[in-house]
């Protein structure tokens, strides 16, 4: 695996894909691996495995992003919902706003006249303008 990784690095740095660059890349890859084994023992293998694992996780992230695109194009409605935060301190308002923003389909926009204005997505227009499932109860 490490041989392929270093070979692809070599071909990327050289920028040419001809016979001489491939043969020179094979020789350099072999030399780099053997010199690294002599000086670094097994540490280089851990780095390469970690790097390849990180690339795999990034690819999974992009795959999940493309899977969720259908929700973006699905018909949905949005509305603004006021939440009463009368008699709350600034820290309590910030905590409530953050909790609401972490709820899927809702996002805190601004504070106005003792109310937090929440932007909400829903499947029906009535549900988009309803504050029933945005915030219930007391946090503090």
| pLDDT, tens digit (0-9, with 9 covering 90-100), for 5-32 | 878 787 888 877 788 888 888 898 888 8
- The CA distance from 133 to 140, in Å, is 19
pLDDT above 90: percentage of residues in the chain: 0
- The CA distance from 105 to 72, in Å, is 11
Q: What angle is formed at CA 28 by the lines to CA 24 and CA 32, rounded to 5 degrees?
A: 175
pLDDT above 70: percentage of residues in the chain: 84
3-class state of residue 6 by DSSP = helix
Quickly tell me which residue has 């001809």 as its tokens. Answer: 18
Q: How high is the pLDDT of residue 74?
A: 73
Residue 137 DSSP code: S
Helices (H), 18-139: 19-40, 43-67, 69-73, 90-102, 125-128
Quote the pTM value: 0.46
Contact 96, 83 (CB under 8 A): yes
121 strand-pairing partners: 78
| pLDDT, tens digit (0-9, with 9 covering 90-100), for 67-88 | 767 666 777 788 888 888 888 8
What integer best gives the mean pLDDT of the chain?
A: 78
């Amino acid at each position: 695996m490490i041989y392929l990784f270093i070979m692809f690095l070599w071909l990327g740095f050289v920028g040419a894909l001809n016979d001489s660059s491939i043969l020179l890349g094979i020789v350099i890859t072999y030399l780099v691996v053997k010199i690294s084994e002599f000086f670094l023992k097994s540490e280089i293998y851990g780095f390469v495995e970690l790097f390849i694992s990180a690339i795999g996780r990034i690819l999974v992230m992009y795959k999940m992003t493309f899977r969720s695109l259908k929700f973006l194009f699905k018909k949905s409605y949005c509305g603004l919902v006021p939440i009463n935060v009368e008699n709350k301190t600034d820290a309590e308002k910030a905590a409530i706003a953050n909790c609401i923003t972490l709820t899927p389909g809702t996002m805190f926009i601004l504070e106005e006249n003792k109310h937090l204005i929440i932007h909400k997505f829903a499947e029906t227009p009535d549900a988009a303008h309803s504050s029933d499932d945005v915030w219930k109860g007391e946090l503090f």
